[in-house]
């Protein structure tokens, strides 16, 4: 079935193409989270304390934020397939440099660089939005989001398993090999697109501030998912501490297993995508926020009961990741030629919210334990609800998208 993209060109958005985009997103976003389970092994290799080696994970996250700000907007300038392939080649090289690290300074620089260049998913998502028709954009974004969630939650489990059996360096070599496979798949199967090339890089970056100030829908989406992802990060950052306390007394492996349960929640994103296409993003966001809020309220009491904790992890993952699809749907209804910039700003805000959630979550744990973590998460989700006040997709932009004909993506 031929579908018309939002810019008027006919495309066949097959299940295979959507699956390819989901797979590439999952494998590449995983690079940001690989080192979180490797820190203890790295500390042994480099004769550093576990606390001091933790800066490696922080630097990777900082690099990812910088990449979203500095590199993702390039999708509005250049042909996206070529840009994705260049970044994949660089990612492959940087993964090898991580594996070859001979001291802590080396791996710190390599980890920061890996975060900067592994922003490929945030170039693919606007491409997916462009390839989709107006009537199925939510569904396509929801399906692509499955790969993102699986990559985020599965990275910790897989890297921990490989590290335990073969060492932490093999984790990076395995990721580099997987990246070579991604290069082949993208080269053969991903369609080409067109950048506008109407603005130079300096002006591209200078346009980000005015764009954020101008687009109220973007501001509300950033607030919504920033706070939702903050509550999500507070949960997953402190989960390992909860599992080490009574009545659990589990190791970090259990946190990885619960993460696998969270992956099951990723498959709710296509359902939310279909709901968006039928009922609108506002209804979907309200449902997502309510799901996460109720989960944290229940976890205040059920967090010390393993079945309740597992169910809570599932619902929190569903609510957070599905809300991301709803928010991205909203911002992609804005100016088509600025979708990469819109997504870059959105992801920077989401990351900042996640960092804030991790930091405040750890502070709450140190002072009030699990009840404090749940209270922080409930507060952040409550703030997220404020984004729904007088929030609507601007009809003028939606109509303009449907009216444009004959333009390339």
Residue spans of the domains in the chain: they are 15-195, 215-391
Average pLDDT over residues 249-262: 72
- Spatial neighbors of 7 by CB under 8 A, at least 6 apart, are 130, 336, 401, 404, 407, 408, 409
> 61-96: buried (b, 16+ CB within 10 Å) or exposed (e) per residue?
bbbbbbbbbbbbbbbbbbbbbebbbebbebbbebbe
Nearest to 153 by CA among 295, 264, 62: 264
Distance of CA 204 to the CA centre of its chain: 23
| Residue 188: pLDDT band with limits 50, 70, 90 | very high
Flag whether pLDDT at 55 surpasses 70. Answer: yes
Top-tier CATH class for 215-391:
mainly alpha
Average pLDDT over residues 233-252: 80
> Do residues 124 and 182 make contact, with C-beta atoms less than 8 angstroms apart?
no
What pTM, to 2 d.p., does this model score? 0.76
152 SS3 class: helix
pLDDT in tens, 95-127: 999 999 999 999 999 999 999 999 999 899 888
Give the tokens for residue 195.
Answer: 């950048």
- pLDDT of the residue at 309: 93
- pLDDT of the residue at 376: 95
Flag whether pLDDT at 248 surpasses 70. Answer: yes
- pLDDT of the residue at 405: 39
> Do residues 91 and 117 make contact, with C-beta atoms less than 8 angstroms apart?
yes
| Residue 409: pLDDT band with limits 50, 70, 90 | very low
Nearest to 333 by CA among 407, 404, 398, 283: 398
Average pLDDT over residues 229-241: 84
Specify the range with the lowest mean pLDDT, choosing from 28-32, 45-49, 190-194, 381-385.
190-194
> Do residues 262 and 318 make contact, with C-beta atoms less than 8 angstroms apart?
no
**6 backbone dihedrals φ, ψ, rounded to 5°:** -65, -10
- Spatial neighbors of 293 by CB under 8 A, at least 6 apart, are 319, 378, 381, 382
Selected residue with higher pLDDT from 270 and 291: 291
CA angle, 228 as apex, 222 and 231 as ends, to 5°? 135
**Domains 15-195 and 215-391 are alike in CATH topology:** yes
Flag whether pLDDT at 177 surpasses 50. Answer: yes
**Residue found under tokens 């490696």:** 56
Selected residue with higher pLDDT from 143 and 86: 86
Q: How far is it, in rounded angstroms, from Cα 6 to Cα 407?
A: 9
- pLDDT of the residue at 87: 97
Flag whether pLDDT at 265 surpasses 70. Answer: no
Architecture of the domain delimited by 15-195:
Up-down Bundle (1.20)
- State the chain's mean pLDDT as an integer: 83
Selected residue with higher pLDDT from 210 and 57: 210
- pLDDT of the residue at 5: 45
pLDDT over 70, % of the chain: 88
């Amino acid at each position: 079935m031929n579908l018309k993209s939002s810019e008027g060109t006919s495309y066949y958005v097959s299940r295979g193409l959507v699956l390819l985009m989901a797979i590439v997103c999952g494998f590449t976003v995983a690079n940001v989270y690989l080192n979180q389970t490797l820190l203890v092994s790295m500390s042994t290799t480099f004769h550093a304390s576990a606390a001091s080696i933790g800066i490696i994970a922080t630097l990777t996250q900082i690099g990812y934020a910088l990449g979203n700000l500095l590199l993702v907007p390039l999708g509005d300038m250049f042909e996206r397939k070529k840009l994705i392939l260049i970044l994949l080649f660089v990612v492959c090289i940087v993964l090898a440099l991580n594996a070859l690290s001979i001291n802590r300074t080396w791996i710190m620089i390599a980890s920061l660089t890996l975060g900067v260049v592994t922003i490929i998913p945030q170039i693919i998502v606007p491409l997916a939005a462009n390839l989709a028709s107006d009537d199925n954009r939510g569904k396509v974004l929801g399906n692509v989001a499955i790969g993102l969630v699986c990559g985020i939650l599965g990275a910790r489990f897989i890297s921990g398993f490989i590290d335990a059996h073969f060492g932490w360096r093999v984790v990076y070599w395995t990721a580099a090999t997987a990246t070579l496979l991604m290069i082949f798949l993208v080269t053969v199967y991903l369609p080409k697109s067109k950048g506008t090339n109407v603005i130079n890089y300096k002006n591209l970056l200078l346009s980000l501030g005015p764009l954020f100030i101008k687009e109220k829908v973007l501001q509300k989406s950033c607030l919504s998912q920033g706070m939702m992802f903050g509550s999500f990060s507070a949960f997953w950052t402190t989960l390992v501490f909860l599992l080490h306390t009574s009545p659990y007394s589990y190791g970090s492996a259990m946190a990885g297993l619960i993460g696998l349960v969270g992956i099951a929640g990723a498959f709710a994103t296509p359902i939310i995508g279909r709901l968006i296409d039928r009922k609108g993003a506002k209804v979907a966001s309200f449902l997502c926020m309510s799901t996460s809020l109720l989960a944290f309220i229940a976890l205040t009491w059920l967090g010390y009961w393993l079945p309740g904790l597992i169910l809570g992890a599932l619902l929190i993952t569903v609510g957070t990741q599905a809300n991301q699809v709803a928010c991205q749907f909203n911002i992609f209804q804005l100016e088509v030629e600025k979708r990469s910039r819109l997504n870059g700003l959105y992801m920077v805000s989401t990351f900042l919210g996640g960092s804030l959630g991790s930091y405040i979550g750890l502070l709450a744990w140190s002072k009030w334990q699990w009840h404090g973590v749940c209270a922080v998460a409930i507060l952040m989700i409550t703030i997220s609800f404020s984004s729904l006040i007088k929030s609507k997709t601007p009809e003028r932009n939606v109509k303009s998208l449907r009216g444009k004909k004959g333009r390339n993506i």
